[in-house]
Structure 1
Amino acid sequence: MLLVGMLDSPYVRRAAITGTLLEVPFEHRSVSVFRHMAEFQAINPLIKAPTLVTDDGIAISESLLIIQHFEDVAGRSLRPLEGAARRRDLALTGIGIVAADKAVSIEYERKRPEAQRYAPWQERIAAQLHTALDLLDAAAKNGELTAGPELLPSDIAAAIAWGFCRFVIPEFAPEERWSALAEQAQACEALEVFKAWPIDRE
């Protein structure tokens, strides 16, 4: 299998780390949806990162579906199987994904010419980001988000979202405001599986 996309994307990075933890064999190719558009389009006409090309040549878009395929191949999931623990992990994973989504939206909005920016929308997505970070920080404080020893999908999603925020929009995510989340993410980044898939800062 081939995972395509740059590691500056929180979605590519989450898929890569999850696939590695599930011990699913795959290769990775760093292709930018911006700088290498034609190359990416030849792999997936949607030009969507991440894309997973399966062993039989099928292109799967969307990180959640790629992770689902990794779980299918592995025959297991990193998520608790049942009960309140599973539901809570689903909820926290979703919050981590929202945080990453809103950080991406803020970064894209900043790329618009000033005349094309809409202040109420910018304020809304910033508020959504900060609410997500508040919820993740509270979960880190009470021990629901950790750095293992057994990583859950929510641990991965939270750490990757925080790392992405600090990478692209640090002024929107000061460490002193969300110190528990920052500590959890830092502990995750020190793990070998995270170091194997570092943020592409080029």
Structure 2
Amino acid sequence: MILIGRNLSPFVRRTAASLNLLGLPYEQRPYSTVDNAAELKEFNPLGRVPALLLDSGEVLVDSTFILDVLDEMAGPDRALVPPAGAPRRAVLAALGLAVGATEKTVALFYETRRPDGLVWPANQEKLSAQALAGFAALDRMALAGPWLIGDRLTQADITMTAGLDFAEMMLPEVFTGRFPALAALRDRANTVPGIGATRWVK
């Protein structure tokens, strides 16, 4: 399989980490949405990352759908989201917060890059409040430990780790130091080789 995108994107990163943890071999083409737009559109007409080229020749886009297929490949005993019942709902609830907080963080980052004269302070404040609220809810969940949902690492932990690392790297003045329990869980997740190896370093 071929993973398209750079691990600077938290959504590419969570896909790469999941492939690693599930033991699914792949190669990665670190295409940038800015520098490799033409190459990227050969895999995804939307020009977004990640995309995953399967051995069959099929191309999957959007990390949510990619991760669902990876869990199916790995089987229910190894899947990073439980297959059914209350355990599945609990992981999906935490995962929804992690995805939402990460999406708002990415949007906030782009909002801060607007040219002078096009800055929209009210939208920055709204996006910041949404992202902070999502991470704060996860921080409260992290107090129970060792992982967000029980004693097994799940996709919620992977996605949160990719999102919080991105937030603290790109917008440290907004996020760093605010979520001690969550940061401790993130640090623990980054000691897992399949996750830590995907961490983007400036």
1:15 corresponds in structure 2 to 15
Call closer, same or farther: CA 1:146–1:187 in 2, change over 3 Å: farther
Call closer, same or farther: CA 1:193–1:8 in 2, change over 3 Å: same
Q: Are 2:47 and 1:36 aligned?
A: no
Which letter maps to 2:10? Answer: P
Shift in Å, 1:58: 2.0
1:137 corresponds in structure 2 to 139
Cα deviation code 1:42-101 (max 9, x no counterpart): 333221100111122222110011111212222232223333322111010111111110
Q: Distance in 2 between matches of 1:167 and 1:14?
A: 16
Secondary structure in 2 matching 1:93? helix
| Contact 1:96 1:157 survives alignment (8 Å) | yes
| Residue 167 of structure 2, aligned match among 145, 150, 165 | 165
Q: Distance in 2 between matches of 1:103 and 1:5?
A: 19
Q: Distance in 2 between matches of 1:101 and 1:151?
A: 21
What residue ranges of structure 2 are gaps of 5+ in the alignment? none
Q: Distance in 2 between matches of 1:102 and 1:188?
A: 22
1:125 corresponds in structure 2 to 127
2:154 corresponds in structure 1 to 152
Secondary structure in 1 matching 2:81? coil
1:71 corresponds in structure 2 to 71
Call closer, same or farther: CA 1:169–1:124 in 2, change over 3 Å: same
Cα deviation code 1:6-34 (max 9, x no counterpart): 01000001011112212222211111111
* Percentage of identical aligned residues: 32
Secondary structure in 2 matching 1:80? coil
Report which stretch shifted further, 81-90 or 179-188: 81-90
Shift in Å, 1:200: 4.7
| Residue 82 of structure 1, aligned match among 71, 81, 84 | 84
Report which stretch shifted further, 71-80 or 104-113: 71-80
Q: CA RMSD in A?
A: 1.9
Q: Distance in 2 between matches of 1:150 and 1:121?
A: 37
| Contact 1:147 1:188 survives alignment (8 Å) | no
What residue ranges of structure 1 are gaps of 5+ in the alignment? none
Secondary structure in 2 matching 1:60? strand
Which letter maps to 2:200? Answer: I
Q: Distance in 2 between matches of 1:188 and 1:2?
A: 24
The alignment of Structure 1 onto Structure 2 pairs a total of residues equal to: 200
| Contact 1:7 1:200 survives alignment (8 Å) | no
2:197 corresponds in structure 1 to 196
Which letter maps to 1:80? Answer: P
Which letter maps to 1:151? Answer: L
TM-score normalized with structure 1 length: 0.91
1:4 corresponds in structure 2 to 4
Secondary structure in 1 matching 2:112? helix
| Contact 2:138 2:148 survives alignment (8 Å) | no
TM-score normalized with structure 2 length: 0.91
